[in-house]
Amino acid sequence: MLRALLIFWAFSWFSVAWAGEFFTLEGHGGPIKGIAVSPDGESILTASFDYSLGHWQAGTLEWLEGHEAAVNAVVFVDDTLAVSSGDDFAVRLWDLAAGTSRELGRHKGKVVSLKLSPDGKSVASASWDGTIGIWPLNGGKPRGIKVDSNVNDVVFVRGGTAVLSAGSDGHIREWDTATGTQNRLLLSNGFGVNTMVHDPAKGWLAFGAVDGVTRIVDVTTVATIRDVTLERRPILAMAQSRDGRYLAIGDGEGFILLLDTSDWSIHADFRATHRGPIWALAFSADGENIHAGGLDDAMFSWPMSDPRDAPKMVQGERSFLNGSETASNGERQFQRKCSICHTLTGDSARRAGPTLKNLFGRRAGTVSDYSYSDTLLQSEIVWDAQTIDALFDLGPDVYIRGTKMPVQRIKAPQDRADLIEFLRHYSETREN
């Protein structure tokens, strides 16, 4: 279902006047997983755990809703078209002017990365079903390339006639886009490779891995150009500025490393968040700012001139990271296992899941301000102590097959019991 909501702002938050200034884009109900900047530099798309895309233009924000689970990646095709993908296995093409989308197709696992071909006529997708998808944007037949390991990222090489896959098995392989055959095994890292950036003009490939390895290699000879590995892991995101000068690298410890590609010197290295990973990076069109997303519900943008003194993401404790000794075990279970998707207020607040207020005695799929999967809409489940216990004992993927709820189990019976008692309080004290 598509629901567009326009919010008007009193200022133009990333117009020329904001070039080189710190700013944030706020409004999502979950962490930011992907960021894309339009070719003309006039709009930004943010992909979020809350199942939505935020389309930010000067003075307006439009919510684009069509995915049935967390949205992991988004890429502009041109100033009016974009492609997104998510945990619902879907790849969707968006008409940004109309605010509508259609499904290009589906993988059989979550889709974590997208890249536009050099000619702009197709998009490649990386999926945890062990395949690369090649999706023509003119209505042609999609093609699949079987990789045989979770694919974390993909980039086009050789002018679009080939793609590189970054695998969870640590291999980077080159594939022919037309035939799907493997051209060569480019390199083996030993640990999973998460992210890649390719500069076709200069012929280098940068990659980051689970073990923190961060290297730049010649894409033809595979000779190491520079190893910039630090004691931080895993490497989760990379982006290159449009003029090719800067490479940004984000890791699981909340740092952003900015490299000058002319000599691979460090332009800046700063902690962008007090807690948690950097999941998404993108440069502004003019290269004056670096945008980032992580556990915070907002996109943050720092000036390249001196990002170290600007505010940081996740200033306080996110509820799902709360380790307070004053909280009961039931509250801690909720904070760590549930609160990233659900609220306990009377509304669903742009979260990935419906509110859990007044949960007991409620039939599944009946909260009015939340868009459910067909599985939940057709379910006969009524939430009580027994059904909640079964949900977390077996896991949502087993208890409610076809649900878009993330895989989440609570193995200890006492932890499940304490969570149930905590949730019961928000039903038994409801206002009638």
CATH numeric code, 6-309: 2.130.10.10
Task: Give me the pLDDT at residue 4, please.
Answer: 36
Tell which CATH classification among 1.10.3720.10, 2.40.440.10, 1.10.1050.10, 1.10.760.10 matches the domain 319-428.
1.10.760.10
CATH 2.130.10.10 positions along the chain are 6-309
pTM of the shown model: 0.83
- Measured CA to CA in angstroms, residue 211 lies from 18, 189, 234, 396 at distances of 37, 9, 6, 30
Per-residue pLDDT of the chain (432 residues), as tens digits, is: 333 333 333 233 444 345 689 999 999 988 999 999 999 999 999 999 999 999 999 879 999 999 988 999 999 999 999 999 999 899 999 999 999 999 999 999 899 999 999 999 999 999 999 999 999 999 899 999 999 899 999 999 999 999 999 999 999 999 999 999 999 999 999 999 999 999 999 999 999 999 999 999 999 999 999 999 999 999 999 999 999 999 999 999 999 999 999 999 999 999 999 888 999 999 999 999 999 999 899 999 999 998 888 888 875 555 555 555 678 899 888 887 888 788 888 887 777 789 999 999 999 999 988 878 778 888 999 999 999 999 999 888 788 877 767 767 888 999 999 999 999 988 875 443
Q: Single out the residue of 154, 88, 149 nearest to residue 372, CA to CA.
A: 88
CATH 1.10.760.10 positions along the chain are 319-428
Task: Give me the pLDDT at residue 2, please.
Answer: 35
Give the count of beta carbons closer than 10 Å to the beta carbon of residue 400.
Answer: 21
Task: Give me the pLDDT at residue 125, please.
Answer: 98
Task: Give me the pLDDT at residue 102, please.
Answer: 97
* Cβ neighbours for 261, distance < 8 A, ≥ 6 positions apart: 199, 202, 204, 240, 244, 245, 246, 247
C-alpha to C-alpha distance for 284 and 35, rounded to whole angstroms: 10
